[in-house]
Amino acid sequence: MNMELDLNSTQTKLQKEMKHFFALTVMSLAFAGIVIAFVVASLTVNIPALRTGDSTMLLNSFSNIVISLIVGYLAFRFLISTAELLSRFDDIKQDDAGETPVSSESITGKIIQLMGLYREERPHIQRMILVSRVAGVCFFANALIQTVLLVINYTGGTLELASGVGGIIVSLIMGLVGFLLPSSFKKYAVCWDQRIVKGNEAEKTIASFLEDSS
C-alpha cells in the first residue's frame, strides 16, 4: 500500500514537473521569438533614421541599433538552445504517452532519461539562464536610454509622450520577463543539481550492492 502511494506521488510529481518544464521551455521560445521580432522592428526603424543630421537623433538611433544587435544575437542563441532542449525533452515526454497504469519501472526509466538529459544539457541550461539575464539587462538599459531621451527631447506632444512611454513600458516588461524566465529555470537547475548529487550517493550504494552480491 505504501509502495503504491509512493509510486503515485512520484508519478504525480514527475508529471507535474515535466508539464511545468515543458511550459517554461515553450514560454522561453515565445519570449525569444518576440525579442527577435522587436529587434527586427527596431532595426527597420532605426537604420533609415541614421541619415538624419540631428546629432541627438543620430545618437538615439545608433544606441538603439547597437542594443538591438546585441539583444538579437543573444535572443538567437537563446532560441537555438531552447529549441534543442525542447526537442530532447519532447522525445522523453512522448515515450510514456498513453501508458496506464504507470509502473515503477516506467517511472524509473523516465527518471533515468531526465537525469541523463540534465547531465547533458546542464551547460545549455546555464547558458540559457545567463543569456536571458543579459537580454533582460539590455532591455532595462534600453528602457533607461529611452526615458532619458524622452525627458531631453520631450516637446509637450501627447502622441510623442504616449509612444515614448509605450516603448519604455514594453522594454521594461521584456526586461522583467528576461529575469523571470531564468529564475524559473534556475529553480529546476538547483533541484536537478541536488538530484545529481544524491544520484551519485545512490550510485555508491548500488556499487556496494553489486560488490556484496558477487
Where in the chain does DSSP place strands (E)?
none
Question: Helix, strand or coil for residue 154?
Answer: coil
- Report the site for another protein in 37-96 (rule: CB under 8 A): 88, 91-92, 95
| 58, 111, 144, 150: which one binds another protein (CB under 8 A) | 111
**70 or 186: CB nearest another protein:** 186
Q: Are 164 and 154 in contact (CB under 8 A)?
A: yes
For residue 198, the minimal CB distance to another protein (Å) is 5
d(CA 125, CA 193): 12
Site string for another protein, 135-174 (x = CB under 8 A): ----------------------------------------
Assess contact for 78 and 132: CB atoms under 8 A: yes
189 contacts 125 by C-beta, under 8 angstroms: yes
Q: Are 63 and 145 in contact (CB under 8 A)?
A: yes
Shorter beta-carbon distance to another protein: residue 148 or 173: 173
CB of 124 to another protein, least distance (A): 13
Give the CB-side neighbour count of residue 132, counting CA atoms within 13 A. Answer: 33
- Please report whether residue 8 would count as binding another protein according to CB under 8 A: no
Q: Which of 4, 8, 20, 56 binds another protein (CB under 8 A)?
A: 20
Q: How far is the CB of 197 from another protein (least distance, A)?
A: 10
Retrieve residue 189's grid coordinates: 537547475
Which CB sits closer to another protein, 77 or 88? 88
Supply the angle between the helices 104-153 and 2-49 in degrees, to the nearest 10: 30
What is the nearest approach in angstroms of another protein to the Cβ of residue 37?
22
Alpha-carbon span 177 to 185, nearest angstrom? 12
Number of residues written out for the chain: 214
List of residues contacting another protein (CB under 8 A): 6-7, 10, 13-14, 16-17, 20-21, 23-24, 27, 88, 91-92, 95, 104-105, 107-109, 111-113, 115-117, 119-120, 184, 187-188, 191, 194-195, 198-199, 202-203, 205-207, 209-210, 213-214
